[in-house]
Amino acid sequence: MPPNASPSNHDEDDAKEILELQNQISAILIRKRKREFDASEDEVKHLKHRLASSLARCQETNTRLASALDTVRKVRTENEFLEKETKKQVQSVKALEDENKQLKTQLENLKKNEATSKKAVSDLKKKLGSVLEAFSEV
């Protein structure tokens, strides 16, 4: 201790030095927190930008998905209509095939009847010819 220094001066100097150190530590901490805050603000801006991009992509995807679902519904509806129409057409074809089969059977019967009729006419002509010949002889 210097010869003029009293214990209270020494305590005052120590207190000033401690206060100075506290001020320096506070200034360092304030600068550090400011840097951290600025860095976190930059990170927030970056994340907001990424989030906005992600949201835009999601909205675009949702729009495409809604459009695709609408297309699927339309195609499904059209397919259901086409299935019903196909069933109707198949039933129509079956009915026409049945009618065709009946007509073929009728045609075969008519051909048989025609052949039988021709034979009967031929036989009748022969008999008529024989009868006419017999009358002419009489």
Whether residue 10 contacts residue 1, with contact meaning beta carbons closer than 8 Å, is answered with: yes
Q: Read off the pLDDT of residues 57-72 as tens digits, 9 standing for 90 and up.
A: 999 999 999 999 999 9
The span from the CA of 68 to the CA of 62, in Å, is: 10
Q: How many CB atoms lie within 10 A of CB 43?
A: 10
The mean pLDDT of 83-89, rounded to a whole number, is: 98
pLDDT higher than threshold 80 for residue 56: yes
Q: DSSP for 42-71?
A: HHHHHHHHHHHHHHHHHHHHHHHHHHHHHH
On the question of pLDDT at 115 being above 90, the answer is yes
The pLDDT of residue 4 is: 55
SS3 21: helix
Q: Supply the pLDDT for residue 138.
A: 73
Query: Does the pTM of the predicted model rise above 0.75?
Result: no
Q: State both tokens at 65.
A: 């998905």
Query: What is the pLDDT confidence band of residue 135, given thresholds at 50, 70 and 90?
Result: confident
Written as six digits, the tokens of 124 are 């009748």
